[in-house]
Amino acid sequence: MIKGLYSAFSAMESAWQYQDVLANNIANATTAGYKREVAAQQSFSDVLLSQQSGLVAPLPARIQSVVGQIGTGKFVAEFATDFANGAFQQTGQELDFALEGGFFAVENEAGELFYTRDGRFGRDANGDLVTNHGHYVLNDQGGHINLPAEQVTVLADGTITVGDGQFLDRLQVVDFTGGVIARSGEAYFTSTEPGTPIDGGVRQGYIEMSNSVLVEEMTTLIAVQRAYQANQTVLARLDGTLEQAAGQIGTFGV
């Protein structure tokens, strides 16, 4: 019965965390360049052991002796970012861009480097190419991109031209191997390692929408809420059974 209490509680805790993630995915279903988060699951026994590993003896031994080995059920261990492409939406705007692969490199006023697939860009007061958050969009040399007042054309490899095809600058587009890029805001990421430059895949006049599918996120949210409620019911009944047992055990033999 004690095992059941731990199983139900862990399932409720995981469901609560998952609801927060799903709610954030739903809230950003219309955010350009947003990448949804998904749950990675593992067996309860693995989660239990990982939680015990950092505790000071003899507490782990006491927990293990009371709880025993629990190998049933699946529980959320961590959340990972789904980097699958979102749908491309045509805007026809000169400084809207979508990427078939990789990330734009941008820099804030403090010089901090970020990566994004949100290609809603524009000119600031000085003519520099900036994101809709005011971050500077970087060229392939890591510098700012200054644009003339006249319209520019951007080729698939990120080359920016003006007039009859005169070269002006080139967008920096880089990609990363798994695990070296971390979320930093709605559609922005950071990395401690430099990205690998890639050619091609820049589409002018388009933006990439969120890869969150509202119907799918809502369906999953409902399932998670039901799982939470079911485990809450189990926990309450087990608690009631233990309370009853504790109240009646002293009456035996009287």
Tens of pLDDT, residue by residue over 115-141, are 999 999 999 999 999 999 999 999 999
- How far apart CA 18 and CA 15 sit, in angstroms, is 5
CA distances from 123 to 127, 128, 132, 138, 145 (A): 5, 5, 10, 13, 10
pLDDT at position 202 is 96
pLDDT at position 143 is 96
pLDDT at position 224 is 82
The whole-angstrom distance between residue 253's C-alpha and the CA centroid of its chain comes to 59
For range 4-26, the mean pLDDT: 78
Beta-ladder partners of 37? 81
pLDDT at position 87 is 95
For range 46-73, the mean pLDDT: 48
Is residue 43 helix, strand or coil? Answer: strand
Is residue 116 helix, strand or coil? Answer: strand
Please say if the pLDDT value at position 254 is more than 80.
Answer: no
For range 1-23, the mean pLDDT: 73
Q: What percent of the chain has pLDDT over 90?
A: 53
CA distances from 229 to 121, 177, 194, 219 (A): 44, 39, 45, 16
pLDDT at position 9 is 62
- Is the Cβ–Cβ distance between 182 and 175 less than 8 Å? no
pLDDT at position 221 is 87
Q: Residue 109's pLDDT band (boundaries 50, 70, 90)?
A: very high
pLDDT at position 229 is 79
Q: What is the mean pLDDT of the chain?
A: 82
Which of 186, 184, 181, 133 shows the shortest CA–CA distance to 25? 186
Please say if the pLDDT value at position 59 is more than 50.
Answer: no
Q: Residue 234's pLDDT band (boundaries 50, 70, 90)?
A: confident
Is the N-terminal amide bond of 148 cis, ω within 30° of 0? no
The dihedral built from the CA positions of residue 127, 131, 135 and 141, taken in this order, carries a sign that is negative
- Is the Cβ–Cβ distance between 21 and 39 less than 8 Å? yes
Query: Could you state, in order of their start, the residue ranges of all structural domains in the chain?
Result: 2-83+217-251, 88-208
- At 176-206, the pLDDT tens digits run 987 789 999 889 999 988 899 998 899 999 9
Whole-prediction pTM: 0.74
